[in-house]
Structure 1
Amino acid sequence: MVALQTVLRSNTNIARLPSGLVALFIGATSSGIGEGTLEHFAQHAPAPRIYSVARPQSAAAHEAVLASLRKSNPTTTITLITADISLVSEIDKIVAAVRQKETKLDIFVTSGGFMAFEGLDPSMSTRYYSPLRAAQLLLPLLNAALSPRILAVLAGGHEAQMNEDDLGLRDPANWSYWNAAVHAATMCTLSLERLTRRNPRLSIVHWYPGPVVTPGLAKWYKYGLTPPNQRSQDEGGTRGAFLATSDRYAVHGHGGLVPMPGGLGGVNKSGGGVFLVDADGESIDNEGVLAGYRERAVDAVVWSHTEKVWAECAARKDEL
């Protein structure tokens, strides 16, 4: 376990990083883990250029948060991008806005998603299709950075068996809250592994943060569920900033961000090259599930399915 005090000490060293780091946050709204990570990064980083995405209905409230961050660190430049990430077609707009102003991207944090307990919902888009679309389109900017990092906040290490005949869960008979969560997390890891194998300088962390006290967690209480070992949003954000900046989670031979704190050992990557990290910042071994998928080339099937969904979304947009 990485002690919180160790995380806090590491985060103070973000201030020693070169000025002008560029970061994109998708899902850093609604008082969640992403917002906490954004706050801790913005407060410490020297003259960072940050882009944060908010849906139209939450843009005003998020802008108030960003204004507060600008005051807490006057060297910070933060740009609000208004877009709905439940629509895959909106991702191209987000990436275009960043590419118009930047020639590199150091850190990409994606934490979009929500918990739906009934009926069909857009959670598969916010948790998987949209973030992976963004990661794919951002590769030229990420590869131009000295030590590029993707932090995906979802359920790394908790991959499980999928319905391979209906990866998108389009058949209502196959959909459930649990199945949607499993498919999103498992397809996310398999696709992130594909990205890191093809971009060896890119460090990718797929994090399971555990229960964090956010407005979204209130849905658990509505259904009579009380998750154990809950952490505050502030601690979730503190640990998120650590995972996004510590060289403990850099691919071998490619550091460049905050040096690993003394006394900590290294962490293992999955067989496909992604850091699967638990709520305490330690690696999770889930090769019992993932190795079989790789051996049967299910990762390639997932990627083909993903590209097909992206193409369908683009076609629907063109029809409008």
Structure 2
Amino acid sequence: MVSYKEIKASNALINDTNAPRVAVFVGGTSGIGKFTVTALVATDASVRVYLVGRKSSEEHTRIFIQELHTINPKAEVIWIEGEVALLAETKRVCEVIKSKESHVDLLFLTAGYAPFGTRKETAEGIEVAQSLEYYSRMLFILHLLPLLGEAEAPRVISVLGGGLERTTIDLDDLDLKKPGNFSGIQAQTQYIPMNSMTLEKIANDNTNVTFIHSWPGSVNTGNVRRGLEPNSILAWFIWLILEPLITLFSFSDEESGQRHLFQCTSAAFGGRGVPWHGPPGINSQEQPENGLFLVNRKCSCTPNAKAMHLLREKAQGKIWDHTQEVLRPYL
């Protein structure tokens, strides 16, 4: 466990030299992404941040950008509108960034929500939460890898459920399209190991980039109700019962932002970044070197060795092949 005191001390060392100078936040207009952007800008470092979000969030994001500029006039925050549940839109957003930048230091991915409602598909035929939490994220990574490769200490963070992988993944129906095969619980237990397996594969092929699959613990972002019918019984139950419980046991917005800023910058993960004098992080293959780090809510590495070994042996190749097939038209 990394104490909050240690995290704040580390983040206090962030400056123009070691801050991620160009950062892309997908899902940075609300929740953990927004908290982390705020923490990064508040370091007073000279950074350029791309905020990617839906058109419906543009108005309040403009206000948020003004607030960030007040906090740190040196920070440049750029809004890019994009419905990234659509892979064609994800590709378009990536092309915009690639046209403007020669390198990217940080790619921070948080778009998504708990899919507790009925199955809903995008116009491209992909379940919405799976597109946001998996396919779109992997497409962003694959498109921006050349720019990440040009950075001094590049880092990719996918916030979902690192360390919570289970081996119950359905390899015969990775997209959960078979009748009766989709539920909120099954979806999350499917999307989490898909993230970890593909991130590990990409990390192994790109050893100059640090990858983190983060489990944030309880943070009241409001996403638990997204995707539900507003006046449904389940939506009312979550609003009246579940969300107050989440709030009771949650990190504050500020602490969540600081903990994820630590993951964005500390040399605890991969040995590059803000100096770290504590024990080095252990990656998913239980090595103290670059690769994929499964990081829990206390910023400790949890290799989840038994599940990851079985997934690596039986599932990784199938997940990668399937992912390549889905993403190929957009690469």
TM-score > 0.5 by shorter chain = yes
What are the ranges of 5 or more consecutive residues in structure 2 without an aligned counterpart?
121-127, 226-234
SS in structure 2 of the partner of residue 302 of structure 1: helix
Alignment match of 1:162 (pick from 160, 166, 169): 169
Distance 1:182 1:49 in 2: 35
**Which sits farther off after the overlay, 226-235 or 301-310?**
226-235
Q: CA deviation at 1:223?
A: 7.3
Is 1:243 the counterpart of 2:263? The answer is yes
Q: What do you get for the CA RMSD once the two structures are aligned? A: 1.9
Is 1:310 the counterpart of 2:327? The answer is yes
The corresponding residue for 1:285 is 303
Q: Is the contact made by 1:120 and 1:172 (CA closer than 8 Å) also made in structure 2?
A: no
- Give the aligned residue type for 1:232: S
What are the ranges of 5 or more consecutive residues in structure 1 without an aligned counterpart?
316-320
Residue by residue, what CA displacement relative to the aligned partner does 1:175-196 show, whole Å, maximum 9, x if unpaired?
1101111111100000000111
Could you tell me the TM-score, scaled by structure 1's length?
A: 0.90
Alignment match of 2:274 (pick from 231, 244, 258): 258
Q: Is the contact made by 1:17 and 1:258 (CA closer than 8 Å) also made in structure 2?
A: no
- Give the aligned residue type for 2:323: T
The corresponding residue for 1:77 is 76
Structure 1 runs, 4 residues or longer, greater than 6 Å off: none
Distance 1:192 1:45 in 2: 31
Distance 1:236 1:174 in 2: 33
Alignment match of 1:134 (pick from 134, 137, 140): 140
Distance 2:313 2:327 in 1: 25
Q: Is the contact made by 2:215 and 2:295 (CA closer than 8 Å) also made in structure 1?
A: yes
Distance 1:142 1:267 in 2: 21
The corresponding residue for 1:101 is 100
Q: Is the contact made by 2:18 and 2:274 (CA closer than 8 Å) also made in structure 1?
A: no
The corresponding residue for 1:318 is none
Q: CA deviation at 1:18?
A: 4.8
The corresponding residue for 1:188 is 195
Q: Is the contact made by 2:293 and 2:303 (CA closer than 8 Å) also made in structure 1?
A: no
- Give the aligned residue type for 2:327: W
What's the % identity of the aligned pairs?
A: 28
Q: CA deviation at 1:139?
A: 0.5
Q: Number of matched residues?
A: 306
Distance 1:69 1:99 in 2: 24
Is 1:28 the counterpart of 2:31? The answer is no
Q: CA deviation at 1:311?
A: 3.9
SS in structure 1 of the partner of residue 42 of structure 2: helix
SS in structure 1 of the partner of residue 134 of structure 2: helix
Distance 1:247 1:8 in 2: 14
Change in CA separation of 1:109 and 1:20 when aligned onto 2, cut-off 3 Å:
closer
SS in structure 2 of the partner of residue 13 of structure 1: coil
Could you tell me the TM-score, scaled by structure 2's length?
A: 0.87
Residue by residue, what CA displacement relative to the aligned partner does 1:235-276 show, whole Å, maximum 9, x if unpaired?
1111111100001012x5xx1x2111x4x2112111283100
Distance 2:208 2:262 in 1: 19
The corresponding residue for 2:283 is 269
Distance 1:75 1:46 in 2: 7
Q: Is the contact made by 2:154 and 2:208 (CA closer than 8 Å) also made in structure 1?
A: yes
